[in-house]
A and B are shown apart, each in its own frame.
Chain A
Amino acid sequence: MEFELQLTKRFSIPNCHTLEVALNHGAYRSFEKLFSMKPEAIVNEVIASKLRGRGGAAFPTGLKWSFVPKDTALPVYLCVNADESEPGTFVDRYILEYDPHLLIEGIVCAAYAIKSHDVYVYIRGEYVRPYMIFKKALDEAYRSGFAGHNIKNSGYDVHIWIHRGAGAYICGEETALLESIEGKKGQPRIKPPFPAVEGLFGCPTIINNVKTISHIPWIIEHGGEAFARIGTSESTGTMLFGISGHVNNPGFWELPFGMRVPEFLEKYAQGVKGGSLKALFPGGTSTAVMTADECADLYLSYESMRAHGTMLGSGGLIVMNEHADMLHALRTITRFYAEESCGQCTPCREGTFWIHRLLEKMVRGEGTTKELDLLLEIADNMEGKTICALAAACAIPVRSCVVKFRQDFEKYVKPVFVPVAAAAEKMLGDDAVPF
């Protein structure tokens, strides 16, 4: 499998976070071509590349950019989503740490394409080291004219600011991220209006993930069509896949889309640790769990995941071996959503909380089979009934785990208590007719 690395090409070069080393290895090479092209032409190249947003939703990036109103009198903002918080997802911080200049280069390219001069990079609060490294790289880029006023004598300005989050998963949702920059609680906004029309400070805004932005310099240098030739028809280019949980070699790798999941598990993660494969979350915990049988013909592409009723999400695979207990795992997963629900919508605030409580009850051995069905009912009452997708992100693993691994849950729950039978027994005493 021959392919060119786009995101991680400089990861193995020592000190590549410094401008000097990055420049010696091709950083900012796309600027020459970038500023010779019209912004609209860049957008067209990105449309031709079929690049899809790498944050999880996989929305076509070029199409998103094209939603910015033409010739708007308002400033256009670009926000870079480095709030990486989806359980099982951990690769964006390595771009910030190992090759921050790739991201800065991508930011300038993307800002130019959407005619933006003001960029906010939203870095999750926990990422202190990535923040420090990125900040230092940004200062260097400013000093050497790769960011700020009149970038490399192009006459184009791009001001880049870092905005640190402070511990809230929901701020990865794009409108919650905007609220957080504006100094508010990270509570998602009702859409429409979509951010491309009315976003940050009421102005047109594009929000893109770190990986998405970092692909742009390659697309400018090589063209959208070259990018579209990599991977599969619907999943073009490369992707940073991360894998964690019960595997022998957890880590991350940049690969073209389309590899079969068992091959990825064997070749890169070096197999399941501590037993055979039981279950796998393909793209963070917010995606439907796959059984070992389902994984057999599952591929690392958007279309294969969709055909299997799940999603590639952020590309963070989580593996569980045969000894993993799904009730305990799901309790852990739902606690995350109960903790991270912003509290704005009732189905999410109450649903995540009660699902987690019911699972806690089952762990204590106090649950009933009826409550197992109640979990599914609550999940149905959450999905699609809230402002953002957090409720669905909880409902999806709940439904898929309970349906596919019901026997794991049944071990802990008691058969449903039938009040009629009990009442009859009480009335008739020892002579009761057994039901």
Chain B
Amino acid sequence: MAVQFSEAALKEYEEIVTRYPDKKATLLPALWLAQREFGYVSDEVLEYIAQLVGMPAVKVYEVAEFYTMFHKKKPGKYHLQLCQTISCYLRGAEDLRSYIQETLQVLPGETSADGLFSFQLVECLGSCHTAPVIKINDEYYDSLTVEKLDAIIRHLKKNSSGEDHGV
């Protein structure tokens, strides 16, 4: 099999196994670990995880599909997750959506041509009092306006060379 965890990741997985009385319960942590290792969970990765956890590949595929945070394809360097649920909607999330679509030329589910930005519409991020909110990789950006988002995007574009992201 082509893909495989690094030694460090394998060690981490072995520790995870000790947390549960049933190895199948390690599936979600294993998928998180895989996403961290490989950046996304391709079919090949899912087959590897199935073997690791000891489950049929179809079950692993089913679970990876069910949860929205597992990427089936390579996300952009900056993965934009725009909350579109009620409180964000009431405070202007639709303007942010138009801004992203027009400025970065990406539709939900797409990645920009330069591979820098991928765009995903998400449901309630649990930060309704600081709406509208966008999550970029692991960080929340609060109380946004189009101007503030524009400044963030410009900043990310400027800093895109060199520094690593870590999805």
Chain A residues with a Cβ under 8 A of chain B: 75, 84-90, 92-93, 124-129, 161, 163-169, 180-186, 201, 242-246, 250-252, 281, 285, 316, 318, 320, 324, 328-329, 332-333, 335-336, 339-340, 342
Contacts and interface: CB of A to CB of B under 8 A. Distances in A.
Nearest to B21: A201
A244 B126 CA distance: 11
B69 interface: yes
A132 to B, nearest CB: 9
Contacts of A329: 86, 89-90
9 contacts: A126-B135, A164-B28, A166-B28, A166-B67, A169-B124, A182-B24, A183-B27, A242-B129, A333-B86
Contacts of A336: 85-86, 123-124
B31 interface: yes
B126 A332 contact: no
Contacts of A85: 123-124, 126
A243 B85 CA distance: 15
Given A125-B67, A164-B32, A182 B124 contact: no
Contact of B129 (A128, A252, A340): A252
Contact of A126 (B85, B90, B125): B125
Nearest to B85: A87
Contacts of A342: 66
Contacts of B123: 85, 87, 169, 335-336, 339-340
Given A125-B69, A161-B19, 15 more contacts: A87-B128, A90-B126, A126-B125, A127-B126, A163-B29, A165-B67, A166-B67, A168-B67, A169-B124, A244-B129, A245-B87, A245-B90, A245-B131, A250-B87, A332-B84
A166 B53 CA distance: 18
Interface string B110-127: 000000000000111111
Contacts of A126: 69, 81, 122, 125-126, 135
B5 interface: no
Interface residues of B, number: 43
B125 to A, nearest CB: 6
**Interface centre among B63, B90, B138, by most A CB within 10 Å?**
B90
Contacts of B86: 87-88, 245, 281, 285, 318, 329, 332-333, 336
A118 B116 CA distance: 43
Contacts of B55: 183
Contacts of A84: 126
Contact of A86 (B90, B124, B139): B124
Contacts of A320: 90
Contact of A90 (B19, B21, B89, B127): B127
A244 B122 CA distance: 18
Contacts of B13: none
Nearest to B53: A183
A340 B66 CA distance: 10
B25 interface: yes
Contacts of B125: 126
A166 B105 CA distance: 27
A336 B24 CA distance: 29
A223 B139 CA distance: 40
A180 B69 CA distance: 14
B128 A124 contact: no
Contact of B138 (A86, A128, A339): A128
Interface centre among A186, A244, A333 (most CB of B within 10 A): A244
B84 A163 contact: no
B141 interface: no
Nearest to B69: A167
Q: Which 9 A-B pairs have the closest CB atoms?
A: A183-B27, A166-B67, A244-B128, A167-B68, A167-B69, A250-B129, A244-B87, A128-B138, A185-B66
Contacts of A324: 90
A124 B70 CA distance: 13
A183 B24 CA distance: 6
B126 A183 contact: no
A340 B88 CA distance: 17
A106 to B, nearest CB: 20
Nearest to A127: B126
A87 B122 CA distance: 12
B129 A243 contact: yes
